[in-house]
Structure 1
Amino acid sequence: MFYGIDLGGTKLQFAVGKDQDVFVLDKVPTPLGYEELLRVVEEHYLEAERKFGEQIAGMAIGIPGTFTKEKVVWVPNIPYIEGHDLAGDLSMRLGVPVYLGNDAQLALVGEVWRGAGVGYTNAVLMSIGTGIGGAIMIGGKVVKGRRGAAGALGWLNLDASVPGDKNHGYLENHASGKAIAAGGAGHEPVISTYEIVARAKQGDEFGKKTMDQVGHLIGAGLASIASVLDTEIIILSGGLSEEFATYKDSMEGSFREFTAPGIESIPIVKSKLGNQSGAFGAVRLAMVGHELWIG
Structure 2
Amino acid sequence: MSELIGVDVGGTAIKLGRFSNGGELLAELECPTPQPAMPGGVVTAIVDAVAALDPDRRASRVGIGLPGPMDAAARVARVCINLPGWQQVPLAEWLEPQLGRRVTLANDGNCALMGEAWRGAAVGYRDVLLLTLGTGVGGGVLLNGQLFTGQGGAAAEPGLISVNPDGPACNSGNRGSLEQYCSIAGLRRLLDQDPQTLDRLARAGDLQALEAWREYGRWLGVGLSSLIYVLTPQLVLIGGGLSAASAHFLPHALAEVEQRVQAESRLGLEIRCAALGNGAGRLGAARLALERLND
TM-score category by the smaller chain? 0.7 to 0.9
Tell me the residue number matched to 1:199: 201
Alignment-mate amino acid for residue 43 of structure 1: D
| Local SS of the residue matching 1:67 | coil
Tell me the residue number matched to 1:75: 80
Aligned partners of 1:160, 1:81: CA distance in 2, in Å?
A: 26
Alignment-mate amino acid for residue 27 of structure 1: E
Tell me the residue number matched to 2:104: 99
Aligned: 1:283 with 2:286: yes
- How far residue 162 of structure 1 moved from its aligned partner, in angstroms, is 4.7
Contact 2:17 2:26 in 1 (8 A): yes
Backbone CA RMSD of aligned residues: 2.4
C-alpha distance 162-2 of structure 1, shift in aligned 2 (>3 A): closer
* Structure-2-length-normalised TM-score: 0.86
Tell me the residue number matched to 1:138: 143
Aligned partners of 2:135, 2:263: CA distance in 1, in Å?
A: 32
Alignment-mate amino acid for residue 56 of structure 1: A
- How far residue 97 of structure 1 moved from its aligned partner, in angstroms, is 2.2
C-alpha distance 47-209 of structure 1, shift in aligned 2 (>3 A): closer
Tell me which of 30, 33, 44 is aligned to 1:27: 30
| Local SS of the residue matching 1:66 | coil
Structure 1 unaligned segments of length 5 or more: list them: 186-190
C-alpha distance 19-288 of structure 1, shift in aligned 2 (>3 A): closer
* Structure-1-length-normalised TM-score: 0.86
| Local SS of the residue matching 1:100 | strand
Alignment-mate amino acid for residue 252 of structure 2: S
State which drifts further: 91-100 or 233-242.
91-100
Contact 2:43 2:95 in 1 (8 A): yes
Aligned: 1:126 with 2:128: no
Aligned partners of 2:50, 2:198: CA distance in 1, in Å?
A: 41
Aligned partners of 1:172, 1:49: CA distance in 2, in Å?
A: 36
Contact 2:213 2:248 in 1 (8 A): yes
Structure 2 unaligned segments of length 5 or more: list them: none
Aligned: 1:171 with 2:178: yes
C-alpha distance 241-168 of structure 1, shift in aligned 2 (>3 A): farther
Aligned: 1:184 with 2:188: no
Tell me the residue number matched to 2:7: 5
Q: Aligned residue pairs: how many?
A: 284
Contact 1:5 1:62 in 2 (8 A): yes
Contact 2:165 2:176 in 1 (8 A): no
Tell me which of 214, 217, 239 is aligned to 1:215: 217
C-alpha distance 110-168 of structure 1, shift in aligned 2 (>3 A): farther
Tell me which of 277, 281, 290 is aligned to 1:274: 277
C-alpha distance 10-171 of structure 1, shift in aligned 2 (>3 A): same
C-alpha distance 257-282 of structure 1, shift in aligned 2 (>3 A): same
Contact 2:164 2:176 in 1 (8 A): no
| Local SS of the residue matching 1:118 | coil
| Local SS of the residue matching 2:180 | helix
